[in-house]
Amino acid sequence: MAETYDIEPTIEHYGCMVDFYGRAGQLRKAYNFVVQMPVPPNAVIWRTLLGACSFLGDIEMAEQVNKRLSELDPDNCGDHVLLSSIYTFAGKWKDVAMVRRSMAEKDMKKIPGWSMIEIDKVMYSFVAGDKQNEITEEAYNKLSEIMLKLKVKGGYIPEVGSVLHDIEEEEKEDTVSKHSEKLAVAFGMARLCKGSTIRIVKNLRVCKDCHSFMKLISKVYGLEIVVTAVNVPSILIEELNDTVLCNRRSGPGTIKTIIERLSIGSPKRSKAAMKALRETIRGEQLC
C-alpha cells in the first residue's frame, strides 16, 4: 500500500482488513493479522474481531479476544453484551449468567434500543416493550395485525437466537416481537399514506429477526423500508440516548426540540451532530 499508493497504513486500514477477514469467515487469519500488526492493536480492532466471532459463533476465539479487550477496555458494556450473546447462541447459560454477574458487579447497564420515525414533521420515538401511551398502543395494535399477516402469507417464524435469557420459547418470541424498530415500522404503516417509504433511525444494530421481518414486510406489503443507525459522533451517543429516552416519556417531540436540548451543553458539536441526524431521518444521507 505504501509502495504502490504512497499511503502509510493507519489503524483504520488495519481495522478494515480485520473486518474483511471476519466477513469472509477467516477468523484465524484475522487473529494472526491482528497479533502481527506493526502497530499495537487498540480496543476497536479487537472489538471488530469479537463481532466476527459473534457472527460465526466461534466461542473459543471469542474468549481469547475478550481477554485482550479486558486488558484494554475492561468496562465496556458492549463487549460484555456481545460475549453474552455468543454464549446465548451456543446455549451456554451458565456462561451467560457469569457475564451478567460481571456486568452487575461493575454496575454496567445495557443501553436501551430506541427507534425514531418522523411523520408530518413530528418525530416519534419507540423503546422495546414500552406501553406508556396511546401512541405505543396504536403501534402495538398495528404490529399484531402485521405479524398475523406475515405468518400466514409470508411464513414468518421469529428468530429468537438474539434473546439473552434462558426462558421459554413463547416468551422469547414475545420479546423479539416488541423490538423498537418493529414498533416504529408498524406505527409508520398506520399513519403514513399507503405506499409511502418508511424511514427508521435507531441507535443499535438491527437483529437478525428484525432484518428478516423488514424484508418480509417489504415483500408482502410491497413497501420500501429503510432502517439506519444514527449518524452522529460516538462522543454524543450517550447524550443522544438520554435525550431520546427522556423525550419519549413526555410524548412525541420535534427534531427542533432535541436539537435545542442537545445544544445546551456544546452548541457547535451538537449542531453538526443533529444536522446529520436530521438528514438521516429525512433520508438525505441514506443509501
Cα 42–Cα 44–Cα 71 angle in degrees, nearest 5: 50
Q: Which of residues 105, 139, 159 is at a domain's end?
A: 105
Asked if residue 75 and residue 171 are part of one domain, the reply reads no
Asked if residue 134 and residue 39 are part of one domain, the reply reads no
Asked if residue 206 and residue 183 are part of one domain, the reply reads yes
Asked if residue 259 and residue 137 are part of one domain, the reply reads yes
pTM value > 0.85: no
> Are the CB atoms for 49 and 17 separated by under 8 Å?
no
d(CA 96, CA 140): 30
Asked if residue 125 and residue 95 are part of one domain, the reply reads no
Asked if residue 126 and residue 99 are part of one domain, the reply reads no
The whole domain housing 195 covers: 114-281
Does residue 97 sit within a domain? yes
Asked if residue 211 and residue 125 are part of one domain, the reply reads yes
> Helix, strand or coil for residue 267?
helix
Asked if residue 136 and residue 212 are part of one domain, the reply reads yes
> Residue 13 has which C-alpha cell?
486500514
Does residue 287 sit within a domain? no
Asked if residue 197 and residue 214 are part of one domain, the reply reads yes
At 231 the pLDDT is: 43
Asked if residue 157 and residue 266 are part of one domain, the reply reads yes
User: What CATH number is given to the structural domain containing 63?
Assistant: 1.25.40.10
> Are the CB atoms for 116 and 281 separated by under 8 Å?
yes
Does residue 148 sit within a domain? yes
Burial of 237 (0-12, 13-18, 19+ CB in 10 A): middle
Does residue 146 sit within a domain? yes
At 112 the pLDDT is: 74
> Helix, strand or coil for residue 41?
coil
Instruction: Tell which phi-psi region holds residue 283, choosing left (phi > 0), alpha (psi between -120 and 50) or beta.
Output: left
Residue listed under C-alpha cell 404503516: 189
Distances in whole angstroms, Cα of residue 231 to Cα of each of 7, 240, 257: 27, 11, 18
Q: Which of residues 73, 105, 137 is at a domain's end?
A: 105
Asked if residue 126 and residue 257 are part of one domain, the reply reads yes
pLDDT beneath 70: ranges in the chain:
1-2, 129, 132, 160-176, 229-287
Per this entry, what is the length of the chain? Answer: 287
Q: Which of residues 105, 129, 146 is at a domain's end?
A: 105
Asked if residue 209 and residue 137 are part of one domain, the reply reads yes
Distances in whole angstroms, Cα of residue 193 to Cα of each of 120, 135, 253: 11, 17, 21
At 236 the pLDDT is: 44
Does residue 128 sit within a domain? yes
Does residue 286 sit within a domain? no
Strand 122-127: give its sheet, edge to edge. Answer: 122-127, 114-119, 198-202, 225-229
Residues ≥6 apart with Cβ < 8 Å to 9: 1, 2
